[in-house]
């Protein structure tokens, strides 16, 4: 028996026309990808899941041979990095082969060489240098490479690769340059489907856990923004967003882009009634356009939001009554009133009720950030009632007694002020005013 540490996995093999066909499929995606649905969901267990559904008919004249009678299908551009909980299923909902990093790199390099090649009949020293540059672009790792190295590669693409390509049309040249630079941050997702599906309408699905920015802390309206760099790779593009229980989508906006320019008016879904999902569908204006997605989230009314508002009002009324009685001499309590023995127990029911609204299960970080101000208000309300219970049940010196009730009133007013600032998004307003003032 021969022992070896090497495994010879089946590779892509040689196919001279492969780069041209992959390029034709990618640039002509709207002609054969009928519909693409890009869904983002914030899971209750804390994960952000991206699921992409592709409805396409692969043209027979552009079929690229794969392994074991299968054909290669370039589907999307995915952000580089370790993909978590990847799932790829074919039309029969069975697992579908996805090309690995080395094969993806090889295909992307062949495609970009085909696009940027000025038709040199045989390899030259300059063409080999350009191929090496393309390989460095495709193999670039944004997580481990400095910004200076990235800028240097971008300069090489603009000053060396694009002039060498011989692309005369400025618009086409800009599209190709944008495409090449895009591979600094994304990789080409290529799957293998059964060869019998060529020319037949097919639906495949790909999903994985991705990272998204978290809304800023302290605002009632939270905003999540992210990019879809390949939104134009379909005849009809759909974007869906699903919020976890406890949040609702106030607005979903999708702005199509071409480089740094906007190429169409934003498409929006503004639900008339609160719901946790939003959907936008549009026909891309350009074959290789991207999209900027913005989602506005707010806490659901039927939940901790309403309970917090009511709780703050109840505590405020209690504090007003305390202030009127203690500091303004209002005749609220009868001179014959005595504190019943169960008063402390009754007051401590309030803190227990408030704290019962704290989360006990794992939740998405976006939900935790959005509800944190409300939960802090509930904790503060519980603290006010707990302090009142101490004041009622513990005999204190007169000046300690007065100080305790003063604290109850001040904290209750502070909670009300915090609620008002939260409702009007004061933190975001202040940040916007600060940016405006600095720009003047």
- Most confidently predicted of 7-11, 134-138, 324-328: 134-138
Both 219 and 328 in one domain: the answer is no
Both 404 and 260 in one domain: the answer is no
Q: pLDDT tens-digit profile of 271-297? A: 988 899 999 999 998 878 899 999 999
**Chosen domain end from 264, 299, 334:** 299
Both 383 and 414 in one domain: the answer is yes
Q: pLDDT tens-digit profile of 43-83? A: 877 789 999 999 999 999 999 998 888 899 999 999 988 78
Both 240 and 318 in one domain: the answer is no
**Chosen domain end from 299, 316, 341:** 299
Continuous segment of H or E residues that includes residue 241: strand 237-242
Domain that holds residue 150: 18-299
Contact 46, 250 (CB under 8 A): no
Continuous segment of H or E residues that includes residue 371: helix 365-393
Tell me how far apart the alpha carbons of residues 247 and 44 are, in angstroms, rounded to a whole number.
11
Kindly provide the b/e burial profile for residues 220-240, where b requires at least 16 CB atoms within 10 angstroms of the residue's own CB. Answer: bbbbbebebbbbbbbbebbbb
Both 50 and 180 in one domain: the answer is yes
Two structure tokens written together for 249:
């989508």
Tell me how far apart the alpha carbons of residues 343 and 393 are, in angstroms, rounded to a whole number.
8
**Chosen domain end from 266, 299, 332:** 299
Residue 7 lies in a domain: no
Residue 435 lies in a domain: no
Residue 147 lies in a domain: yes
Contact 215, 14 (CB under 8 A): no
Contact 173, 165 (CB under 8 A): yes
pLDDT-derived band at 348, boundaries 50, 70, 90: low
Instruction: Name residue 292's beta-bridge partners.
Output: 227, 255
Two structure tokens written together for 178:
């944008």
- pTM for the structure as a whole: 0.83
Both 168 and 60 in one domain: the answer is yes
Tell me how far apart the alpha carbons of residues 7 and 230 are, in angstroms, rounded to a whole number.
35
Both 158 and 245 in one domain: the answer is yes
Residue 355 lies in a domain: yes
Two structure tokens written together for 427:
């933190």
Domain tally, the chain? 2
Strands 84-89 and 186-194: unpaired
The distance from CA 287 to its chain's CA centroid, rounded to whole angstroms, is: 24
Both 172 and 201 in one domain: the answer is yes
Instruction: Name residue 76's beta-bridge partners.
Output: 189
Tell me how far apart the alpha carbons of residues 268 and 255 are, in angstroms, rounded to a whole number.
9
Q: What is the pLDDT of residue 304?
A: 84
The structure tokens 């071409």 sit at 258
Residue 1 lies in a domain: no
Share of the chain above pLDDT 90, in %: 36
Q: What is the pLDDT of residue 359?
A: 56
Tell me how far apart the alpha carbons of residues 215 and 285 are, in angstroms, rounded to a whole number.
30
Neighbours of 211 (CB within 10 A): 12
Tell me how far apart the alpha carbons of residues 402 and 183 are, in angstroms, rounded to a whole number.
68
Sheet of 70-79, strands arranged across = 64-65, 70-79, 186-194
Two structure tokens written together for 414:
């502070």
Residue 283 lies in a domain: yes
Q: What is the pLDDT of residue 430?
A: 77
Two structure tokens written together for 103:
């094969």
Q: pLDDT tens-digit profile of 116-163? A: 886 655 567 788 888 899 999 999 998 888 889 999 999 999 998 888
Tell me how far apart the alpha carbons of residues 107 and 113 are, in angstroms, rounded to a whole number.
10
Indicate if the pLDDT at residue 3 is higher than 60: no
Q: What is the pLDDT of residue 334?
A: 55
Both 150 and 281 in one domain: the answer is yes
Tell me how far apart the alpha carbons of residues 392 and 347 are, in angstroms, rounded to a whole number.
9
Q: What is the pLDDT of residue 183?
A: 93
Reference 65, options 181, 163, 192, 159; nearest CA is: 192
Residue 438 lies in a domain: no
Residue 434 lies in a domain: no
Continuous segment of H or E residues that includes residue 42: strand 33-42
Tell me how far apart the alpha carbons of residues 275 and 268 are, in angstroms, rounded to a whole number.
15
Both 311 and 238 in one domain: the answer is no
Both 111 and 138 in one domain: the answer is yes
Both 238 and 316 in one domain: the answer is no
Q: pLDDT tens-digit profile of 350-368? A: 566 555 655 556 788 898 8
């Amino acid at each position: 028996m021969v022992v070896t540490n090497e495994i010879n996995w089946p590779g892509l093999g040689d196919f001279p026309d492969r780069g041209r066909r992959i390029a034709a499929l990618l640039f002509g995606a709207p002609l054969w990808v009928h519909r693409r649905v890009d869904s983002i969901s914030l899971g209750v267990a804390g994960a952000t899941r991206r699921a992409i559904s592709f409805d396409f008919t692969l043209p027979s004249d552009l079929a690229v041979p794969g392994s074991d009678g299968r054909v290669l299908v370039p589907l999307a551009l995915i952000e580089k990095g370790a993909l978590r909980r990847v799932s790829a299923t074919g039309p029969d909902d069975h697992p579908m082969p996805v090309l690995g990093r080395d094969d993806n790199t090889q295909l992307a390099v062949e495609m970009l060489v085909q696009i940027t090649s000025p038709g040199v009949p045989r390899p030259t020293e300059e063409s080999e240098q350009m191929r090496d540059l393309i390989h460095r672009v495709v193999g670039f790792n944004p997580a481990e490479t400095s910004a200076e190295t990235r800028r240097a590669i971008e300069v090489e693409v603009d000053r060396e690769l694009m002039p060498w390509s011989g692309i005369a049309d400025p618009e086409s040249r800009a599209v190709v340059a944008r495409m090449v630079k895009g591979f600094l941050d994304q990789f080409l997702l290529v799957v293998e489907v059964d060869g019998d599906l060529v020319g037949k309408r097919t639906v495949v699905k790909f999903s994985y856990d991705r990272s998204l920015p978290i809304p800023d802390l302290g605002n009632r309206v939270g905003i999540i923004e992210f990019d879809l760099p390949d939104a134009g790779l379909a005849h009809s593009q759909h974007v869906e967003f699903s919020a976890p229980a406890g949040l609702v989508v106030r607005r979903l906006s999708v702005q199509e882009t071409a480089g740094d320019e906007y190429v169409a008016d934003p498409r929006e879904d503004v639900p008339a009634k609160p719901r946790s999902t939003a959907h936008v569908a549009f026909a891309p204006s350009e074959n290789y356009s991207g999209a900027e997605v913005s989602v506005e989230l707010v806490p659901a009314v039927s939940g901790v939001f309403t309970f917090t508002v009511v709780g703050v009002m109840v505590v405020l009324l209690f504090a007003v009554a305390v202030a009127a009685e203690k500091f303004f001499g209002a005749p609220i309590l009868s001179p014959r009133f005595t504190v019943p023995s169960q008063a402390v127990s009754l007051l401590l029911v309030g803190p227990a009720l408030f704290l019962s609204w704290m989360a006990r299960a794992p939740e998405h970080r976006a939900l935790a950030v959005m509800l944190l101000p409300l939960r802090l208000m509930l904790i503060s309300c519980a603290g006010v009632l707990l302090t009142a219970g101490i004041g009622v049940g513990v005999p204190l010196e007169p000046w300690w007694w007065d100080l305790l009730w003063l604290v109850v009133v001040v904290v209750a007013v502070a909670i009300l002020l915090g609620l008002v600032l939260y409702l009007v998004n004061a933190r975001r307003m202040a940040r916007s005013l600060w940016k405006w003032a600095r720009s003047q």
